Amino acid sequence: MREDAPVSGIIDELSWRGLIAQSTDLDALRSAVDAGPITLYCGFDPTAPSLHLGNLVQILTVRRFQLAGHRPLALVGGSTGLVGDPKMTGERVLNPVEVVEEWVARIRAQLERFFDFDGPAAARMVNNYDWTGGVGLLDFLRDIGKHFSVNRMLDREAVAARLAKEGISYTEFSYQLLQSFDYLNLFQQYGCTLQTGGSDQWGNITAGVDLVRRVEGASVHALTTPLLVKADGTKFGKTESGTVWLDPELTSPYAFFQFWLNTDDRDVATMLRIFSFRPQEEIDDLLVELAERPQARAAQRALASEVTAIVHGEVERDAAEAAGRALFGQGDLGDLPSSTLSAALQEAPHAIVAREEVVDGLLPAFDDLFARAGLVASKSAARRTIDEGGAYVNNVRVTDPGAQALVSDLHHGEWLVLRRGKKAFAGVRLEAE
């Protein structure tokens, strides 16, 4: 972070990027951030072993504040994660304490990659268990609970929805008090005057604003971002295989890159504004190119490249890009690391060849492999594809349906790459010993 980094314009920046859904008083917040550096926070509960794309919206929003010269607090919910924010769909399953502690450590390590911890706008990691774990129940009820109206708590959308169905436990109902207690403590300890989050957190965040006002007589701010829904109506951050995670062990960098590369043309403008750090002029140029040459997918490629580098680093980004080119016949498969190739083919249709099927070092015939891998409907369809010149094994065109690959042809001793035409590929994996 540069010492001369600007401390202005962040509200306008968030506004044109479509990142402002609600604010307690946007003009007052604008005045506060333009007057000098503020301290802000955003919280992340350990409800899973990894953060996901929904969390990334919040992470990058906080990062934008830091780049504008403001001081972020990244909060991991060691205590709130033990309770669980009410869901509209039903009561959460409470995870064991040791599991939550493990997830806290994992999420803390993920968050640390996104912020700068040096300089005048240095970020700080905080865990709300540090100020909640030692508070007695009677003290909490007397000092904090007395400031909350049950009537207002019942108005929260998730609570109302649950009460209309099966009801809600006191444990989850009390979550709002704990999150509000966070804001009060961070105001008292660090002078924090802004909490950010998704728009579904508006009730919790404004409850914290009200608690700071009641206890300290101070005016603090709340800012939320919109919840993202794709143009086709499906939930952002989900694929057919499930949630897109930030942990490379749960969602490989290749799969992560492909998620962004496959962004619908109707969504790419929104995604560039929210997830890219490119200036408005560059984004506008990419959108013009998208309109003029949609088949080139330049906007999607720029988006995939930038966000993958932010989350996984440039080395993994480059490997994911190389894998995509090689799998579609535009690069050397032999140059791909084993982990990258394996991750890519695990995401694609693939077949497993048992060791006993290998005879004299030869795998089953190509027509059989193409059918088993799901690239064609049957062996006869495979033979037609091969006869028409549209079948490739390890990016080499196949001309004989009955030909067989050698075990020595397997990349990293494990994979064959099959391709039909220019756009459909699959893998064949030799069963592990």
Q: Which CATH class is domain 10-225?
A: alpha beta
Is 70 exceeded by the pLDDT of residue 123? yes
| Structural domain boundaries in the chain | 10-225, 238-331, 348-430
Q: What is the pLDDT of residue 122?
A: 97
* Distance of alpha carbon 285 from alpha carbon 291, whole angstroms: 10
Q: Has residue 89 got a pLDDT over 50? A: yes
DSSP lists the bridge partners of residue 126 as: 75
pLDDT for residue 85: 85
pLDDT bucket at 5, cuts 50 / 70 / 90: very low
Q: What is the mean pLDDT of the chain?
A: 92
Q: Identify any residues that bridge with 415 across adjacent strands, giving them in sequence order.
A: 411, 429
Per-residue pLDDT tens over the stretch 296-305: 999 999 999 9
Find, among 107, 128, 115, 99, the residue nearest to 55 by Cα. 107
Query: pLDDT band at 360, cuts 50/70/90?
Result: very high
The answer for residues whose C-beta is within 8 angstroms of residue 111's C-beta and 6 or more apart is: 44, 51, 59, 74, 76, 125
Choose among 383, 347, 358: nearest CA to 368: 383
Model confidence at 117: pLDDT above 90? yes
Confidence of residue 402 (pLDDT cuts 50, 70, 90): very high
CA dist 31 and 38 (Å) reads 11
pLDDT of residue 7: 40
92 has a pLDDT exceeding 60: yes
Domain 238-331: top CATH class: mainly alpha
* pLDDT tens digits for range 363-383: 999 999 999 999 999 999 999
Residue 8 has pLDDT above 70, yes or no: no
The superfamily in CATH containing domain 348-430 is RNA-binding S4 domain (3.10.290.10)
Residue 1 has pLDDT above 60, yes or no: no
Cβ neighbours, 10 Å, residue 341? 24
Q: Which of 6, 36, 47, 10 is nearest to 223 (CA)?
A: 10
Residue 102 CB burial class (10 angstroms; 0-12, 13-18, ≥19):
middle
Q: Per residue in 287-334, pLDDT tens?
A: 999 999 999 999 999 999 999 999 999 999 999 999 988 988 888 888
Say what the pTM is.
Answer: 0.89
